[in-house]
């Protein structure tokens, strides 16, 4: 599972990840980028209870991302 690419929705709480890519159309990707979710950006999973939204901290802001959207954001775990 070292550097495995996985959906954001599958990542455990208190884990740092690097955004790799998105699975979606132009408007979907643009909206995510407007929120600060860009490939290469580091984010921390604040809350992921496996039901409801995934709470992510990115660029000093906390975002609540629906599970459907979170499943289309591909990330890899950052090991420090």
Q: Phi first, then psi: give them for residue 55, nearest 5 degrees.
A: -95, 125
The structure's pTM equals 0.89
CATH superfamily of domain region 5-77: Ferrous iron transport protein A (FeoA) (2.30.30.90)
User: Is residue 2 very low, low, confident or very high in pLDDT (cuts 50, 70, 90)?
Assistant: low
Alpha-carbon distances of 30 from 2, 4, 79, 80, rounded to whole Å: 29, 25, 28, 29
pLDDT, tens only, 21-73? 999 889 999 999 988 899 999 999 999 988 899 999 998 999 999 999 999 99
Where do the structural domains in the chain lie, given as residue ranges? 5-77
């Amino acid at each position: 599972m070292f550097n495995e690419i996985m959906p954001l929705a599958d990542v455990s709480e208190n884990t740092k990840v690097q955004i790799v890519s998105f699975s979606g159309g132009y408007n979907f990707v643009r909206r995510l980028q407007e929120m600060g979710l860009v490939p290469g950006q580091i984010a921390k999973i604040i809350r992921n209870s496996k039901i409801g939204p995934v709470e992510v901290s990115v660029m000093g802001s906390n975002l609540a991302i629906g599970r459907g959207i979170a499943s289309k954001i591909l990330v890899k775990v950052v090991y420090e």
